[in-house]
Amino acid sequence: MRIPYIVGNWKMNIGFDEAYDFLEELNKIYTTEMTHNIRVGIALQAPLLVPMIAEFYDGNFLIGAQTCCDHLEGAYTGEISPVILAECETNFCIIGHSERRQYYNESDEAINTKAKLLLECGIEPIICVGETLEQFENNQTKEVIEAQIEKCCKDINISECVIAYEPVWAIGTGKSATSKIAQEVCHLIREKIRMMYPEDADNVIIQYGGSVNSKNIKELMACEDIDGALVGGASLKIDSFKELIKYGD
């Protein structure tokens, strides 16, 4: 059975005090108000990992990073090694987010390497894929997504990974993919994974991301191949994030 998994991506927002208040409240909500089985995670800025994990180690939610290096050590100034993430007890790490692909030239090959290194260090990779608006409008979604999955997920233990389908045109635009489109592409992803890893495809968690909010979460989560959400804007305030994680209540 695939347990729903909702992850907030704070990006380069939220400092120490706000993070502490948010996570304290999240922990309270998780322990007292949740009636359904769900995994919840927050990807925060790297310097917050140590203090927040120390404070909320026993919390009922997961704490993760937003990127990592494609090497374990060495002369890579400014990068974050999967080894140090593991030493900080980081639960998961987002890789291949479209902002990383767009602004920092992150390639499918580097994402594949990162996934392997994270797995080696015991950290769950959340592997993002998604087509641009131009590719969507040119009906290239299938070929783009299949190629991304093929390269990013090559020779990895897929059962320990999460895939996030994030159409670039839906991220931060307020224009979510319809549940029909999101389901179709998440299904396509599962079938592509089935071709690569026949025994694991039905167990892999596939999230949808792109302008998820309290109005569309229920419909998206009701789709057969959508097991969770990766959320940017609506994860920045505890009230809106709470509505997302309680979508089924």
What residues line the site for ligand PEP (CB under 6 A)?
Answer: 9, 166, 171-172, 209-212, 230-234
Cβ–Cβ < 8 Å for 119, 161: yes
Helices 179-196, 141-152: crossing angle, 10 deg rounding = 40
Q: Which is nearer to ligand PEP, 140 or 213 (CB)?
A: 213
Q: Is 166 a known active-site residue?
A: yes
Minimum Å distance from CB 206 to ligand PEP? 14
Three-state DSSP at 226 gives coil
DSSP code at position 121: T
Q: Which is nearer to ligand PEP, 152 or 201 (CB)?
A: 152
Q: Which is nearer to ligand PEP, 61 or 241 (CB)?
A: 241
Of the candidates 99, 124, 131, 166, the residue annotated as catalytic is 166
Of the candidates 55, 97, 131, 187, the residue annotated as catalytic is 97
Minimum Å distance from CB 87 to ligand PEP? 26
Minimum Å distance from CB 83 to ligand PEP? 25
Helices 108-120, 141-152: crossing angle, 10 deg rounding = 40
Q: Which is nearer to ligand PEP, 7 or 149 (CB)?
A: 7
End-to-end CA distance of the chain: 19
Q: What is the spatial distance between Cα 115 and Cα 178, in angstroms, rounded to a whole number?
A: 29
Minimum Å distance from CB 36 to ligand PEP? 21
Query: b/e for 201-222, b at 16 or more Cβ within 10 A?
Result: beebbbbbbbbbbeebbebbbe
Minimum Å distance from CB 244 to ligand PEP? 10
Q: Which is nearer to ligand PEP, 82 or 130 (CB)?
A: 130
230 closest CA partner among 215, 204, 214, 210: 210
Q: Is 97 a known active-site residue?
A: yes
Three-state DSSP at 217 gives helix
Residues recognised as catalytic: 97, 166
